[in-house]
Amino acid sequence: MVSCTDRKRAPVTAPLRLRSVFARSIPERVERWWTRIRSARVDRSPARNLYAGELWSANCHLATVAERAGFSPTLWVASAGYGLIESTTLFVPYSATFSLDSPDSVAHDSLDGTTDYQNSAWWATLATQSGVGRIRTVAALAAEHPQARFLVVASPRYVAALANDLLGARSVLKDPDKLLIVSSDLPSTCERLRSNQVVSTSRLLFRVGGTRIALHARVAADVLATASLRKNFSASELRRFYARIARRSVPPSRQERKRLSDAEVRQFIKKRGIVSYSAGVRELRASGFACEQKRFRALFKTMRGAA
């Protein structure tokens, strides 16, 4: 199971951007959001084909890696806009995220509770909405397949949003050690899930290669290969294995990035099809370029306003 991504291959209409949905409570906001999702008069495409970007390509490649490693995988998506969906599910282009630095963030100042509380409540409420699949929670999926192996690849913010659901899944698995989470430093709200986590850190870059953008996915691919080689898909054992590797590795040096002019930043945004300034500035920096986040955001907003 992988998290959704900001970038889509089709344009997102204004009503399907979460920033446009206001309510006094999370259940009310979910209901209004879901009404828009269900009634949207735009073409629907399989989730696998609609997400875009380096991270999504790496996530999708995990299914191929799993097959080569001898597993029989099914790719599921933890979507902030749809909830739990299979990668073959037909859905509309939307913009919603559990990340904080986006105008389409689930967490909102007008709602009660911390960010993690709001994200968790949003995920649980989304699971009550029907029309996109029979199974709407990870716990329900685990209950139906109690002997399966579950590999979850997501950022700490997404793991925190799913934490209660993941704990429920672990409780019904025949072997709780078959739930494996690949992510970086988890918040304190995920303390009970740490025993199931392989910590994905930049110290593992020397082993898996590439940039930081898709680090978790590449670490997960390496985990699948290692689990197959060792004939043991065990969260506790793999956690210790990768912790030892990380401890023995030298932290990657921070490269000197080339500073871009405003015109060059605009060209980068246009050429890469950036749809979120937060994801865009990360992609720009991972590509070896420099730009202050505030300046990037201003240029991005100017381009969006002129579109």
How far is Cα 134 from Cα 130, in angstroms, rounded to an integer?
8
Q: Are 282 and 14 in contact (CB under 8 A)?
A: no
Inter-residue contact 120 to 183 (CB < 8 Å): no
Give the number of other Cβ atoms within 10 Å of residue 171's Cβ. 12
Residue 181 φ/ψ, nearest 5 degrees? -115, 125
The pair of three-digit structure tokens given for residue 69, joined into one six-digit string: 């490693």
Residue 183, beta-bridge partner list: 199
Name the pairing type of β-strands 83-86 and 76-79. Answer: antiparallel
- Output the tens digit of pLDDT for each of the chain's 307 residues: 999 998 899 999 999 999 999 999 999 999 999 999 999 999 999 999 999 988 999 999 999 999 999 999 999 999 999 999 999 999 999 999 999 878 899 998 888 899 999 999 999 999 999 989 999 999 999 999 999 999 999 999 999 999 999 999 999 999 999 999 999 999 999 999 999 999 999 999 999 998 888 999 999 999 999 999 989 999 999 999 999 999 998 877 666 678 888 889 999 998 888 888 878 888 888 888 888 888 898 899 888 876 5
Q: Write out the two tokens for 45.
A: 């495409």
d(CA 63, CA 83): 20
The per-residue pLDDT for range 102-125, each reduced to its tens digit, is: 889 999 888 889 999 999 999 999
- Say how far apart CA 226 and CA 49 lie, in whole Å: 28
pLDDT digits (tens, 9 = 90+) for 276-299: 887 888 888 888 888 888 889 889
3-state secondary structure of 290: strand
Listed in order, strand segments (DSSP E) in 76-230 are: 76-79, 83-86, 90-91, 150-153, 179-183, 197-199
